[in-house]
Structure 1
Amino acid sequence: MSPSTPRLLPGQHPRLPVPQPRSTDRLAIVSLVFSILGLLAFGIPALIGIITGHISRSRIRKQPGRLVGSGLALTGVILGYAALVFWALVLGCLALISTIQRASENIAKQSATLRHEDLVQKTQENARARHAFKTRLLRKEREDVPADPPAPATGMKLVSYPGPLGDMAAYVSTDPADGKKHPAIIWLIGGFSNSISADVLPKGDDPENDQSASAFREAGLLMLYPSLRGGNQNPGFKEGLLGEVDDVLAALAWLKQQPYIDPARIYLGGHSTGGTLALLVAGSTTDLRAVISFGPAHSTAAYGQDVLPFDVENEAEAIPRAPILCLDAINAPTFVIEGVKGNIESLRRMRRSHSSRFIQYFEIPAADHFQVLRPLSELLAKSLLQDTGPTPNIVINHAMLKAAMEAPEK
């Protein structure tokens, strides 16, 4: 027995040390709770969890017999750092995504700007190429029949517009005198005369061959029917849809200057050769709101030598007169429409040759070159009137066209 060991009397037991009371450090619990919250709430509470966790562990080390909870504090510290790392990654990813989105938007804007600039350049190139080309006409044809004044009931009047070769005759809607600016459509009549006649203005008697385009006027649109070079008593000779493009552009410029016309809502439409010319014009300007082309040819030369004044076998003559070669310059919503019993192969050739976000092609079943005109003009006229926003918003689809074709004649 060690001298320092106290001697116990009979019946006595050794006195054991009294254990000190132990408790879990509250800061350890605070650390764990705030670190968990940090995982759920953008990491901000995790900072409190980390700080309190370190303080708790320090306190526990200094009072090992009285405080416990080092494991809780350590878990809080680990979770706190994990929360900070997690939310740093999340915020970093969000920032990266936002940066990518902004960059994509900027690229899209730049692409749109470049696309518009490209289109403007293409239209300018078309105009320059057309002006630089000197056509050689096999026949110099013109008509010496004046345009007769339209009946007052049509709401039209006979005017002259300044064309590139001189004054040209045209029919234009009279001023409604209501102080408002109105949308208008330039309509290009089919055929090869380049002339206008008041006979084409009233609504046609035959609903399956109504070439008057009166549906647009009846719906409330104002209209301009221009004559072209060599037609009526106009200067120049018929060129087979070459210089005629500049005539229509001059008519467009004149119409934009009329005080009762909304220059931002001028449309262009035409049927047959007028539809072909409409596409050629659309590829030469950026000033049209939308274009409607009924039954165009993919190339003017396809009409044949019998009706054209230039050599249709001469490729140099055919190229500037071929809509299929200028589709990539069209920058206005354009609707190309033809019945499957009409000039449908030209429509299909153009559709195969070039895909454009601006051009839509519609084949109308069981209809010919003329049957599509009245019912679909009525539908299109309503769509143009509803197109009132800052940018074109004309919704046309096959179901709408089918319903219009099947609707009973009014």
Structure 2
Amino acid sequence: MNVISLCRYSLLVGLLNTCNAWSGTIPIAENGSVITVSEQSLRDAHASFKTQIVQPSLPEENEPLTPPEDIFSLISYPTALGNMAAYVTPDPKDGKRHPAVIWIHGGYGGISDGDYFWEPQPRDNDQSGSAFRQAGQVLMIPSFRGEDRNPGKYEMFYGELDDIESAYDWLAKQPWVDPGRIYLAGHSTGGTRVLLASEYGSKFRAYFSLGAVPDLKARVDLGDMSVPLPFAQNEQEFRLRSPAAFLPSIKNPTWYFEGEANFWDAFKNVDAFAKAEHLPLTVIEITNGDHFSIIAPVTELIAQKINQDTGDSCNIQFSEAELRAISQSLAK
């Protein structure tokens, strides 16, 4: 029987605590580095630092396509830099307030590179976020600074965190949205933004990250970056873009999912640290899955849980049986 690799590191935690190895560090096995976990919050760290954007990463992008009006509206949401584009599920005109998800897509660049957000996608690589709207939830897919002819410069995992919060503020004001049930989810680079957003603030009821990286410098060291880095390449610039450095900043329920084929060993250390510090972060490795094949079944399960999450506070949990079912479906 295939078993999900979930919460299997209790022995490791005990050994690490015995030798006092968890004094605020996260080993990053992939490049042999060690991250010192900050006692300062990520928001305070941003407030005391100014990123240096030294070159563009993205080519000039087009404006977003006009989506089918029964699936999305193309809107502009206000930010400190000006209005930015987003796709949003239109008002169903049923007089109800619905749970909502902001989906942060993967890759580099905005939402103008195709129609995959509303066209059918292959199940083994469905990056559309469609599971949420198909479950009856309001879905918002925003673009950020420097993308899709939006104002500002692309900053790669930095100023975009403010844009995510601005998207939340706009969405929470819509009459067909339940402002107490807005969630943040994303995949790959979007998943990294989700983890950083969970450290930067606590506006969202819960955070769901698929396929994030724990340490941006380690990711760069592994090579094959598809766009140039826009920021000055020094330790602090990388650190402020690396979720592992600010784990104690997480205040609301947060989950990280990845398929075993692409799972970072560093996240085992992140998981152990989160457990030792009683942080609301759960790390889940999906056996038989990879970076892309997990998206459809995991987002479908998340969407199901969101519809059931109707209490005063988030009560979402993922059982081993549910996760095992995903693993078994991926093995077929």
Q: TM-score range by the shorter chain?
A: 0.7 to 0.9
Q: Does residue 268 of structure 2 align to residue 348 of structure 1?
A: yes
Q: Does residue 166 of structure 2 align to residue 250 of structure 1?
A: yes
Taking only the aligned residue pairs, the percentage that are identical comes to 39
2:307 corresponds to: 385
Distance 1:408 1:348, change over 3 A: closer
Distance 1:198 1:250, change over 3 A: same
Counterparts of 2:211 and 2:330 in 1: how far apart (Å)? 23
The 5 A counterparts of 1:323-338 are: 323-338=243-258
Instruction: Report the AA paired with residue 147 of structure 1.
Output: P
2:12 corresponds to: none
Q: Does residue 67 of structure 2 align to residue 150 of structure 1?
A: yes
2:290 corresponds to: 368
Alpha-carbon contact 2:207-2:254 (below 8 Å) kept = yes
The 5 A counterparts of 1:286-365 are: 286-304=202-220, 306=225, 307=227, 308-312=229-233, 314-355=234-275, 356-365=278-287
**Aligned pair count?**
286
Any idea what SS the aligned residue of 1:147 has?
Answer: coil
Distance 1:229 1:346, change over 3 A: farther
The 5 A counterparts of 1:150-189 are: 150-153=67-70, 155-189=71-105
Counterparts of 1:123 and 1:151 in 2: how far apart (Å)? 47
2:31 corresponds to: none
- Equivalent residue for 1:275, pick from 176, 188, 191: 191
Any idea what SS the aligned residue of 1:217 has?
Answer: helix
Q: State the Cα distance separating 1:179 from its structure 2 match.
A: 1.2
Alpha-carbon contact 2:288-2:327 (below 8 Å) kept = no
Counterparts of 2:100 and 2:110 in 1: how far apart (Å)? 21
The 5 A counterparts of 1:119-134 are: 125-134=41-50
Instruction: Report the AA paired with residue 250 of structure 2.
Output: I
Instruction: Report the AA paired with residue 64 of structure 2.
Output: A
Any idea what SS the aligned residue of 2:169 has?
Answer: helix
- How much is the aligned-residue C-alpha RMSD, in angstroms? 2.2
Q: Does residue 150 of structure 2 align to residue 234 of structure 1?
A: yes
Distance 1:301 1:162, change over 3 A: farther
Give ranges in structure 1 of 5+ residues lacking alignment: 1-121
Alpha-carbon contact 1:139-1:310 (below 8 Å) kept = yes
Q: State the Cα distance separating 1:407 from its structure 2 match.
A: 4.1
Instruction: Report the AA paired with residue 126 of structure 2.
Output: D
Q: State the Cα distance separating 1:123 from its structure 2 match.
A: 11
Counterparts of 1:273 and 1:301 in 2: how far apart (Å)? 14
Q: State the Cα distance separating 1:311 from its structure 2 match.
A: 3.9
Counterparts of 1:196 and 1:172 in 2: how far apart (Å)? 14
Counterparts of 2:126 and 2:143 in 1: how far apart (Å)? 19
The answer to which structure has the higher helix fraction is 1
The answer to which structure has the higher strand fraction is 2
Residues 195-249 of structure 1: per-residue CA shift (max 9 Å, x gap): 4455131354321111111111111111110101110010111111110111111
1:399 corresponds to: 321
Moved more, 191-200 or 160-169: 191-200
Alpha-carbon contact 2:263-2:285 (below 8 Å) kept = no
Distance 1:352 1:221, change over 3 A: same
Alpha-carbon contact 1:202-1:214 (below 8 Å) kept = yes
Distance 1:288 1:265, change over 3 A: same
Instruction: Report the AA paired with residue 244 of structure 2.
Output: I
Q: Does residue 133 of structure 2 align to residue 217 of structure 1?
A: yes
Q: Does residue 264 of structure 2 align to residue 264 of structure 1?
A: no
Counterparts of 2:196 and 2:246 in 1: how far apart (Å)? 7
Instruction: Report the AA paired with residue 309 of structure 1.
Output: P
Counterparts of 1:375 and 1:168 in 2: how far apart (Å)? 30
Q: State the Cα distance separating 1:169 from its structure 2 match.
A: 0.3
Q: State the Cα distance separating 1:297 from its structure 2 match.
A: 0.3
Any idea what SS the aligned residue of 2:190 has?
Answer: helix
